[in-house]
Chain A
Amino acid sequence: MPILTAHNVTMRFGGLVAVDNVSFSARRGDITAIIGPNGAGKTTLFNCITGFYRPTGGTLTISHHEDAHPLRLDKLPGHAIAHKGRVARTFQNVRLFAGMTVLENLLVAQHNKLQDATGFGVLGILGLGRYRHAEREAMEQAKAWLHATGLYERADDPAGSLPYGAQRRLEIARAMCTDPVLLCLDEPAAGLNPRESAGLNELLQKIRKDGCSLLLIEHDMGVVMKISDQIVVLDHGKKIADGTPAEIRSDPVVIAAYLGESEEDADAAEAAR
């Protein structure tokens, strides 16, 4: 059973159809990429999956493990997507808690787990009971992700003071601290230099190995072709192709809509300069 199934998802804003009857499924343990030209509806589809928009039509289901009862994401309220749906996300323009430390960012991500252990705040305020245990566990998880993202040395610095690449890694670590089964990344490689890009690649592979499936939007074709197992191509809100990187690379429709066009344009622009 695939981890995420989108069935006829449609998102309308007034007369504008941003996502038009898109169906696809993301396999468990795979890295699935959504690509497409600007304005193809990638981010809108993403926002539907992560609960920021409620799709006007269609269904989105997630199944946490092989024989789990599938859960309808489109029925859950926004904040429950991360908590009950176990879908975490990052943002195209990094959204960290800039005035809080790196460590605090990772603890905020574990809010629900910790809040449940505080016994309506009373045990927490008095520092008693299972709260202490829960807090220690949360710190261990945070530390593990600090090591995994190479941010351990910066744990007590404000998140806003980190360089851009580190902020992106922190955002991924923060999303992972919610214990997701599906991590959605909105252009994780944007603005990264080749070295940081390679580091990101490694991090994503590690996340996948640890049992979390990935769904990503990406513009950087180098990254997409290298790491994804499956690619979904959108254009003008419609799905135009779906397959392995090799299939996508040779798909004439995709080349016409996206790859060929944009690369030729880029080359032409370069030559003109």
Chain B
Amino acid sequence: MSRLADMLKDAGVVAFFALLVFAPFIGVQLGSNLRGALTLAPTPMTLAVAVAVVFCARLAVLTLAQHRAAVTLPRMPVRVQDYLAPAMLVLGVVLPFLPFLPNAYIDTATLILIYVMLGWGLNIVVGLAGLLDLGYVAFYAVGAYSFALLATNFDLSFWECLPIAGILAACWGIFLGFPVLRLRGDYLAIVTLAFGEIIRLVITNWVSLTGGPNGILGIPHPTLFGLKFTMSADPGTFAGFFHIDPTPRQHLTFLYYIILALALITNWVTLRLRKQPLGRAWEALREDEIACRSLGINVRNTKLTAFAIGAMFGGFAGSFFATREGFISPDSFVFMESATVLSIVVLGGAGSQLGVVLAAIVMAGVPALMQSLQIYRMLIFGLALVAIMVFKPRGFIAQRRPSVTLGATKRIGAEFISQGRG
């Protein structure tokens, strides 16, 4: 009997705090009277319902705990995982040709793929090497501005600029890495965070070069072997060359395939590197840096390669972003972007390539597709993230697949895998 009393008391305390938190948000409604002045109307019923929901939810959680019925989401069966990746690849390839899919969805899919690519790039640094990087957006910005400046000043095309932008971003990765990589854990995170902000502030204030807050306009769109995608059917355009009617869909499809190809290259390189000495050294570094040193691994250089390769893919993604938008400004490279990409990596399960894709769909796709829910969008989104992290604290796919085996491949459970932060 006392158990029930305890539970009621516990739920009561939680409900009280809910009342305190909700009162200013749900308990009053902002309005205006006939004279146009603002009014605050109390809405006790809504508040009562919200508090009651919290009270009942807390009781339910406690009851479940009593019965020791551990509430965990089912672990994704390994079989499903094996088929999910090829299935998503096929879906990714045929997506633009699904006739019933509106153009807006292709655009959203392109956006998701940008985040997938950024996630895969950052996964090298955070997921494999275990270095917590909060300033990844800096390399994204370097890539975007390298392309934009080269294209507008020197009239270079997207395909010429792409490798240059990647190399420049990689150089910045090394440049940043040298002083920073002697730091560890939280300190590394703070310094990378600051570096991201420095790049953004430099871009904002170096008006003569970057145009400052006004950004850069008129960045050329990519061409297919010199064929442009415009709404006119001139001979020099894609539609004119093939004698078909120009549609916006053609351009969207082309952009979609570019980012799909770039993302798949990122994935391929990462998967290959994981089976290489370098990739294994990254993972070893995440597991135990001191042991790595005792085995003769040059810790600093190995960290630098992770930073540089991660930054390079960030630079590629940045170039693509610039060419897709046709306009960039410092507003696109705020800390929120770094946080989103890091969330994608963590949510996906650090180190897991498939996890990053699932998380990118959740993080970039769901908010875009929930536009109709308006203000409740972020509320639902936030609750969903909290729920995922409560039930799947190590991300969607927390297991690790060994890079080499003698017998059958056995996945390694999250309980053994270190999260690094060195």
Contact = CB atoms under 8 A, between A and B. Distances in A.
A121 B406 contact: no
B291 A95 contact: yes
A101 B400 CA distance: 10
Contact of A97 (B288, B296, B298): B288
B402 interface: yes
Interface stretch (A54-62, A111-119, A205-213, A252-260): A111-119
Q: Count chain B CB atoms within 10 A of each CB in A80, A111, A127, A159 and give the residue with the most.
A: A111
Interface in B261-307: 269, 272-273, 276-278, 280-281, 283-284, 286-288, 290-299
A127 B269 CA distance: 12
A95 B416 contact: no
Nearest to A146: B406
A161 B408 contact: no
Interface string A85-126: 000110100011111110110011111101100100100110
A104 B416 contact: no
A155 B410 CA distance: 11
B412 interface: yes
B416 A125 contact: no
A91 B290 CA distance: 10
A79 interface: yes
A111 B407 CA distance: 22
Contact of A80 (B290, B296, B416): B296
A125 B269 contact: yes
B284 A100 contact: yes
A158 interface: yes
Contacts of A114: 276-277
Nearest to A77: B298
A157 B402 CA distance: 9
A263 B51 CA distance: 67
B359 to A, nearest CB: 20
Contacts of A96: 287-288, 291
Contacts of A168: none
B291 A104 contact: no
A121 B276 contact: yes
B39 interface: no
Nearest to B412: A158
Given A79-B299, A88-B294, A99-B417, A124 B278 contact: yes
B53 interface: no
Contacts of B298: 79
A178 interface: yes
Contact of A101 (B269, B273, B292, B405): B405
A156 interface: yes
Given A111-B296, A125-B276, A156 B410 contact: yes
B404 interface: yes
Given A98-B416, A121-B276, A124-B278, A79 B297 contact: yes
Interface in B388-422: 400, 402-410, 412-413, 415-418
Interface in B242-262: none
B407 A104 contact: no
Contacts of A100: 280, 283-284, 287, 402, 412
Contacts of B415: 160
Interface string A64-91: 0000000000000011111100001101
Given A100-B284, A114-B277, A121-B276, A178 B296 contact: yes
Interface string A132-166: 00000001000100000000100111111100000
B416 A160 contact: yes
A82 B295 contact: yes
Contacts of B416: 98-99, 158-161
A103 B406 contact: yes
B225 to A, nearest CB: 26
Interface in A229-264: none
B293 to A, nearest CB: 5
A50 interface: yes
Contacts of B417: 98-99
Contacts of A155: 405-407
Interface string A36-59: 000000000000001110000000
A82 B280 contact: no
B265 to A, nearest CB: 11
A108 B413 CA distance: 20
A97 B293 contact: no
Contacts of A125: 269, 272-273, 276
A161 B288 CA distance: 16
Contacts of A158: 412-413, 416
Contact of B406 (A98, A127, A156): A156
A110 B277 CA distance: 8
A28 interface: no
Nearest to B415: A160
Contacts of A169: none
Among A89, A100, A160, the one with the most B-chain Cβ atoms within 10 Å of its Cβ is: A100
A97 to B, nearest CB: 4
A18 B284 CA distance: 31
Q: Which of A108, A127, A158 has the most CB of B within 10 A?
A: A108
Nearest to A95: B291
A97 B408 contact: no
Contacts of B284: 97, 100, 108, 111
The 8 lowest CB-CB distance pairs between A and B, nearest first, are A82-B296, A99-B417, A83-B296, A160-B416, A97-B287, A114-B277, A95-B291, A158-B416
12 contacts: A79-B299, A91-B294, A98-B287, A99-B400, A101-B402, A101-B405, A111-B280, A118-B276, A124-B277, A127-B272, A156-B406, A156-B408
Interface of B: 269, 272-273, 276-278, 280-281, 283-284, 286-288, 290-299, 400, 402-410, 412-413, 415-418
